[in-house]
Amino acid sequence: MPLRALVAVIVTTVVMLVPRAWADTAWERYKARFMMPDGRIIDTANGNVSHTEGQGFAMLLAVANNDRPAFDKLWQWTDNTLRNKSNWVVLLAL
């Protein structure tokens, strides 16, 4: 078995065995560290900027933790701030 596949199996197994309470605690810690009250995720290692990657990752974590209020805040901030509202103009020009 290639090393990459072995690592994937080990990580998947560990994630499945982690008690739900630990996952909940980890999510709460993540939100406390990186999520602003308005739903913005800050990249503390990069000058507290925000990225689409960070917002998307946090939305996936919110779904995985069944946290609809957090997801809604994340989505609202992302939609209002990071979405390029002129993308449709470029697509029509193609």
**How far is it, in rounded angstroms, from Cα 67 to Cα 65?**
5
Write the pLDDT tens digit of every residue in 6-35: 777 776 776 666 666 566 689 999 999 999
**How far is it, in rounded angstroms, from Cα 24 to Cα 81?**
28
Inter-residue contact 78 to 52 (CB < 8 Å): yes
Write the pLDDT tens digit of every residue in 41-94: 999 999 999 988 999 999 999 999 999 999 999 999 999 998 877 766 655 655
Q: Which residues contact 50 (CB under 8 A, 6 or more apart)?
A: 40, 41, 42, 43, 81, 82
pTM: 0.68
Any bridge partners for residue 46, and if so which?
none
